[in-house]
Structure 1
């Protein structure tokens, strides 16, 4: 495989192109309808060569990635079907829904290439090619959803390339199963967050204290409601059946807790929260064999003053401890913040806990 074409040079496409460019011997071409995005992709070294015309970008390509919004992917696939692609070419996408695009590709007999659906489950608060990073996918899930008739050798070829380039953890999954799982853990939460924000905004129209007091937990819970509305419109429409089923289940769950509150059923209410607490606490440990191992996490109380996060990172760096992820769970003026630190191994977690406690920090192993 000597040439890769990445169609779409935003955050995901740019990061994927950079992974391929840095970690393989492939010549990486980028395509975007925006001449400015192409210019930035070339200038920042994300691609070897950029194009605003599709045909020269994909000519002779061994692998093509559709790094465009889910609403645009089917049309781009149709466009590719009209071009003379290499017979051995593999085409994949990066969309967060798989059923529609896989079904569309399966019907597209004119496509002279093998289509394998893909979904790198990674992202960033930043956007655009300027935010591209070859570390974006490292240790993240990268789901592949091949058409049933796809030769195993082609799936393996793409898997090996992506494992080498992205350092992600490849998972093969049925498209419908993928869409239900991602619908439940991503699409439904986005709907609920937006609905909650809209409900509070309606209340705030007649009483501004709803927004004045909306901080901390409310902001954390509804953070995803600030996502791109057009993108989420297209995602929900492309995952329509799964989302409708999930909303039915959610509505029934809300009906049951409403009934418990209406009847002052203390036992059912407590059971509702207890089950959620136990399930939430069990998430890291209850992975099936063969899937990504549990995260090794610790939580650290830090005062809300400049330099504290850097101080924690410095202490761990002195011990040669590598952080897989770090997040601020709570950070308010005059209150302690909570850092969530994710380590690669249980040995590193124990070592980090010991070092931070010796440094005077309060460390916890659960939220």
Structure 2
């Protein structure tokens, strides 16, 4: 695709805005319009250059589009697909989505659209702790996996066209079936969110009984459960749309927990050691600092002395080098790291540059988890 004359972005939150900026970077002549039920949101996105214009009427916007992106939660996307099915669309239109589950979306696409309408499922595996169009980032998807799903027809030309339109994302495109996608993300992303949330909910009763435990949780426990801070509305939708796979995975977990319980009841030291040893072996074989099913966290831990100006010195170095940080916090207790300052970056490139500059320009030591 040399250029798309007209792209319609349905939903201009973090993902929609970031896709728009990435497309504009590589295809500056492409017109990008937005659709949302919030006029204020659309006007704001246009004002900062995320959109060229916008529509308040979906049928009007869809009829002019060469490519349509559904950048909304899965249950909202399913509703919008029904509306799109009644729109007068171009015969060459490409429709795609960004939902975290794919089987429901692809099933609905097959039911609603004619065989001549190209629908390609999509899932860019990137995110941020921020939300809304103001958080849009043209580099959000850099080196992240971007899953594409096309079932029923080969759609080779259309798939190639969509990838070319998205070349500015600098993402790594992977093609899967809807079932493969949902199975993989169910195990590697959806179930971990359930477990992290369960751990936090279980810890609440402990914190009530032993108030000091809330302070102790500020270290490693808070880090391993950080994904529990994700949007509850989005994760409700994801859980419902991938319910069958999640149920199977929960059954596997229950069986594994009961097996481990048996080890404890029998004081089976060898089995317990094997359990933890195998987990360590597998974990160490997983690539480090690559974007996967759960977006990576690019944290730098800095051992700074407890005196005035230490934090300002660190942030001053980052500012002088033009390195943007997305979060900074002081860690009061952490049993595996001596440093007390945690600085988070949006990507590995910024993290590595920050570590290099702080090491060179200060006397502080840095550790990447």
Q: TM-score range by the shorter chain?
A: 0.7 to 0.9
Find the counterpart in structure 2 of residue 240 from structure 1: 243
Alignment of 1:255-270 (within 5 A): 255-270=258-273
Match of 1:213 in 2: 216
TM-aligned CA deviation for residue 150 of structure 1: 3.7
**Equivalent position of 2:171 in the other structure:** 168
> Which residue does the alignment assign to 2:285?
282
Deviates more, 1:353-362 or 1:207-216: 353-362
Match for residue 141 of structure 1 among 128, 145, 158: 145
Displacement of 1:223 after TM fit? 1.4
TM-score for the superposition, normalised by structure 1? 0.83
Shift, 1:211, TM fit: 2.7
- Per the TM alignment, residue 336 of structure 1 is displaced from its structure 2 partner at its CA by 3.9
Give the deviation of 1:251 after TM superposition: 1.5
Decide whether aligned partners of structure 1 residues 262 and 338 sit closer, same or farther in structure 2, where only a CA change above 3 A counts.
farther
Distance in 2 (CA, whole Å) between partners of 1:354 and 1:226 is 31
Counterpart contact for 1:93–1:117, Cα < 8 Å: yes
Coordinate RMSD, CA, aligned: 3.4
Q: How does 1:305-344 map to 2 (within 5 A)?
A: 305-307=310-312, 309-310=314-315, 313=318, 331-332=331-332, 335-337=339-341
Q: Select which of 136, 152, 159 maps to 1:155.
A: 159
CA 191–307 in structure 1, closer or farther in 2 if over 3 Å, else same: same
Look up the match of 2:60: 56
Aligned with 1:118 (options 122, 129, 144): 122
The alignment status of 1:250 with 2:257, answered yes or no, reads no
Structure 1: stretches of 5+ with no match in the other structure: none
In the alignment, the residues of structure 2 paired with residue 126 and residue 161 of structure 1 have an alpha-carbon distance, to the nearest angstrom, of 25
Instruction: Write the mapping of 1:13-32 to structure 2, written as runs, cut at 5 A.
Output: 13-24=16-27, 25-32=29-36
TM-score, normalised via structure 2 length: 0.83
Alignment size in residue pairs? 350
Distance 1:13 1:286 in 2: 25
CA positional deviation for 1:231: 1.3
SS for the counterpart of 2:9 is: strand
1:89-126 deviation line (CA, Å, top 9, x unaligned): 00000011111101111122448620000001111111
Cα distance change on mapping 1:76 and 1:286 into 2, 3 Å: closer
1:356: how far off? 3.7
1:132 to 136, 141, 155: 136
| Higher relative contact order, chain-length normalized (CA < 8 Å, sep 6+) | 2
Gapped regions of structure 2 (runs ≥ 5): none
Residue 84 in structure 1 maps to residue 85 in structure 2: no
